[in-house]
Structure 1
Amino acid sequence: MIEVSVRKNGISVSGHAAYAPQGQDIICAGVSALTQTLIKSIEDLTQDKIKYSISPGRVDIECKNLSEKSRTLVDSFFIGICQIADEYPDYVRIV
């Protein structure tokens, strides 16, 4: 199960969906794509500074004092994650 935690000052994504074999898991791929796109978008499209760490099965993003643009990017990320969680509730949980 993938768990996604969105807090005031950060986002954590941890776990594996185990929906399909590694390399074929569309749920893991979708969550990874959204998460990595969020990080790159904040870095490339805003002046905001974030800290993050990426390791197998885990991403932690620390973000404080985000601009309106970055908050919109986080909101967009959250919409996408919620759509995946709604479609695959046995594999993704928002905590």
Structure 2
Amino acid sequence: MITVVITRNDMSDIVSFTMSGHADSGPHGHDLVCAGASAVSFGSVNAITALCKVELEVEMEKDGGFLRCYVPSSLDDVTFEKVQLLLEGMIVSLESIAEEYSSYIQVNDIIGR
């Protein structure tokens, strides 16, 4: 199962997200849940880089199955809000996948860390 953990501060701003695990909803290379979750998460990270000119701090494992991204704390207010909007859109997309495929992906939103 893919587990997504969204970590927010006390003001509900997203400070990081982590995706770990494998969906195993189909054979390797044909796993639609994994492909969808990967496309959404990497697309969001790439959109933040391209549109906001912000490089998130990214941790990944070589064999896949793990992605952690941190939002820099030094962003100006306008850029920070744009990054937040793109990440909120990512969460909506991941939650949509989880609604249809709850046996393979779970999204947890944690406030106050």
> TM-score scaled by structure 1?
0.93
Count, aligned residues = 95
Unaligned runs of 5+ in 1: none
Taking only the aligned residue pairs, the percentage that are identical comes to: 28
Which residue does 2:4 correspond to in 1?
Answer: 4
Unaligned runs of 5+ in 2: 9-14, 109-113
Which residue does 1:82 correspond to in 2?
Answer: 95
Alignment of 1:48-87 (within 5 A): 48-55=54-61, 56-65=64-73, 67-87=80-100
Instruction: Quote the offset at 1:33 in angstroms.
Output: 0.3
1:6-50: CA deviation from partner (whole Å, max 9, x where unpaired): 112100000000100110000000000011111111111103342
- In structure 2, what residue type is equivalent to 1:68? E
Distance between the aligned counterparts of 1:49 and 1:37, measured in 2?
13
| Aligned residues of 1:10 and 1:64 also touching (Cα < 8 A) | no
Backbone CA RMSD of aligned residues: 1.2
Q: Which has the larger radius of gyration?
A: 2
Q: Aligned to 1:93, what secondary structure does the other structure show?
A: strand
Q: Aligned to 1:36, what secondary structure does the other structure show?
A: helix
